[in-house]
């Protein structure tokens, strides 16, 4: 069967053809409409074995051994998907273009669509307004928080807001705390519940032990806030009155994505997808940007929860590569938004994936998935996606790790880390609660 190759090959073809002036999404549109004639890979799935046209025989052998080991151990149920390519060159495919439940590989699509829409440095804004005068430290009116979709507004962020309000001279709110817009705190989507958490964070004199512990780890110099809200916590669709007191900017999008992917945070992923317009928008943007056929990615949410979220292994690789291409014009790489083996914790902490591999994991009741890139000596950067169907999570993960180890043994360990996967962001130290992201408007 003839299928469209990843947009990496399309991109090269357009460069050589001098057709880059056709626009940023030209490659994606061509792929969406059915591909560019002449740029195809023959993929033979009829026999069930691992193959592509001009396949790399040692790699195909390694894949077949991997599948045989899974079968011998009784670990597999149904289709098993594997796609491996070196740069733009496909090496081997086992059900590589077949739709399968991708689990949290779905977050690759959410990451790609988010970058395409907002850019790596985008910051969500949460605005705070007052509906009355500030006299002797008292806001004579309501404090209105207008959410702007920040998916990582947590205790540290709320503490920073309280400290900034104190810097403005506000110690007491005589009215209510009114929540509007798209505001969540600590993953709580109910506006009143989120507002109550914010209210609690603003007054450091009544913090529970959990918040005190979080505060103790924040940067030195962050003052313990003391803002008492006298009234109730209310949710309103819109509040038109009041003057803007301050704006709290989120972490840059790239850092939010790093936290989402390192910990495979479903709540962050879903909030981003909702902000983008829903799963179908994510699906469309991701397939366009990655240059894969629309039939190879089918999403019902942004997190990957549920077997209804499906993708081909090839699509997972293509989306990872598309993110890498997107970041080429920035100082960042894919290692700045996905877990790096041996460096990050989260979902890869206890795995034995080869060092410096940049990966995304995925887990459902009957799915264990892994996709990413590994640096090698002989093949350069090798991209892979593995989607296994089975319920023995630990054994499947161990076999996946062993398979990648064998590939690195076959091709050799890279002597230097490729620039394309060199990390710059420390995912273990996000600057949550940083004071410099509060923009205080003293003049109202």
Domains and their CATH numbers in the chain? 2-120+255-421 (3.40.710.10), 125-250 (3.50.80.20)
The predicted-structure confidence for 389-399, as pLDDT tens digits, reads as follows 999 999 999 99
- Percentage of the residues of the chain whose pLDDT score is greater than 70: 87
Cβ–Cβ under 8 Å, residues 227 and 170: yes
Backbone torsions φ then ψ of 306, nearest 5 degrees: 105, 140
**What is the band of 444 on the pLDDT scale with cuts at 50, 70, 90?**
very low
Query: Is the model's pLDDT at 17 over the cut of 70?
Result: no
Q: Quick check: 19 pLDDT over 60?
A: no
* Tokens 């032990």, residue located: 209
Nearest in space to 277 (alpha carbons), one of 409, 138, 116, 419:
116
pLDDT tens sequence across 125-151: 999 999 999 999 999 999 999 999 999
- Mean of pLDDT over the chain: 88
Q: What is the pLDDT of residue 109?
A: 98
Tell me the C-alpha distance between 435 and 157, whole Å.
9
Q: Rounded distance, CA 52 to CA 82, Å?
A: 11
- Mean pLDDT across 199-214: 96
pLDDT tens by residue, 85-123: 999 999 999 999 999 999 999 999 999 999 999 999 999
The predicted structure's pLDDT at residue 219: 85
For tokens 């996709």, what's the residue? 371
Identify the three-state secondary structure at position 107.
helix
pLDDT at 28 over 70: no
346-359 pLDDT per residue, tens: 999 999 999 999 99
Residue position matching structure tokens 């045989």: 68
pLDDT at 35: 32
Lowest mean pLDDT among 44-48, 268-272, 316-320, 412-416: 44-48
Distances (CA, A) of 68 to 72, 76, 99, 241, 398: 6, 10, 21, 67, 15
pLDDT surpassing 70 at residue 321: yes
Q: What is the pLDDT of residue 49?
A: 53
- 214-245, pLDDT tens digit by residue? 999 998 889 999 999 999 999 999 888 899 99
Angle between helices 313-326 and 279-290 (to 10 degrees): 80
Alpha carbons 49 and 56: distance in angstroms, whole number: 13
Tell me what pLDDT residue 51 has. 56
Question: What pLDDT is attached to residue 15?
Answer: 35
Mean pLDDT, residues 257-277 taken together: 98
Question: Could you give the CA distance from residue 360 to residue 112 in angstroms, rounded to a whole number?
Answer: 13
pLDDT in tens, 270-318: 999 999 999 999 999 999 999 999 999 999 999 999 999 999 999 999 9
53, pLDDT greater than 80: no
For 373, half-sphere exposure in the C-beta direction (CA atoms, 13 angstrom radius) is 27
Measured CA distances, 157 to 143, 183, 198, 314 (Å) = 17, 13, 9, 39
Cβ within 8 Å of residue 16, ≥6 positions away: none
Does 1 score more than 60 pLDDT? Answer: no
Contact present, 147 and 126 (Cβ < 8 Å): yes
pLDDT at 239: 86
């Amino acid at each position: 069967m003839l299928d469209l190759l990843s947009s990496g090959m399309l991109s090269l073809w357009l460069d050589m053809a001098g057709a880059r002036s056709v626009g940023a999404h030209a490659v994606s549109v061509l792929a969406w409409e059915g591909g560019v004639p002449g740029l195809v890979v023959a993929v033979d799935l009829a026999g069930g074995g691992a193959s592509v046209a001009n396949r790399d025989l040692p790699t195909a052998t390694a894949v077949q051994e991997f599948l045989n080991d899974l079968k011998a151990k009784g670990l597999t149920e149904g289709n098993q998907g594997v796609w491996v390519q070196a740069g733009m060159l496909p090496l081997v495919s086992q059900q590589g273009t077949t739709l399968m439940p991708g689990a949290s590989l779905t977050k690759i699509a959410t990451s790609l669509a988010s970058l395409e829409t907002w850019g790596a440095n985008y910051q969500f804004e949460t605005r705070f307004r007052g509906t009355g005068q500030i006299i002797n430290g008292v806001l004579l009116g309501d404090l209105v928080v207008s959410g702007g979709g920040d998916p990582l507004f947590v205790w540290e962020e709320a503490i920073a807001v309280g400290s900034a309000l104190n810097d403005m001279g506000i110690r007491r709110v005589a009215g209510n705390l009114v929540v509007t817009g798209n505001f969540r705190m600590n993953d709580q989507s109910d506006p009143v519940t989120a507002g109550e958490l914010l209210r609690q964070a603003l007054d450091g004199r009544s913090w529970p032990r959990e918040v005190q512990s979080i505060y103790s780890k924040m940067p030195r110099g962050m003052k313990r806030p003391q803002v008492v809200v006298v009234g109730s916590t209310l949710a309103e669709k819109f509040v038109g009155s009041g003057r803007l007191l301050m704006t709290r900017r989120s972490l840059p999008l790239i850092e939010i994505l790093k936290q989402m992917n390192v910990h495979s945070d479903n709540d962050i992923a879903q909030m981003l997808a909702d902000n983008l317009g829903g799963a179908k928008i994510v699906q469309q943007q991701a397939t366009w940007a990655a240059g894969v056929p629309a039939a190879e990615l089918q999403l019902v949410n942004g997190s990957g929860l549920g077997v209804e979220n499906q993708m081909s292994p090839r699509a997972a690789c293509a989306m990872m590569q598309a993110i890498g291409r997107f970041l080429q014009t920035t100082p960042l790489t894919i290692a700045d938004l996905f877990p790096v083996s041996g460096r990050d914790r989260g979902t890869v902490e206890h795995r034995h994936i080869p060092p410096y591999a940049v990966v995304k994991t995925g887990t459902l009741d009957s799915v264990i998935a892994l996709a990413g890139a590994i640096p090698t000596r002989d093949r350069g950067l090798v991209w892979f996606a593995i989607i296994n169907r089975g319920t023995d999570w630990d054994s499947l993960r161990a076999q996946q790790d062993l398979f990648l180890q064998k590939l690195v043994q076959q091709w050799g360990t890279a002597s230097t880390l490729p620039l394309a996967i060199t990390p710059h962001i420390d995912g273990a130290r996000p600057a949550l609660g940083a004071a410099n992201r509060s923009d205080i408007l003293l003049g109202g």
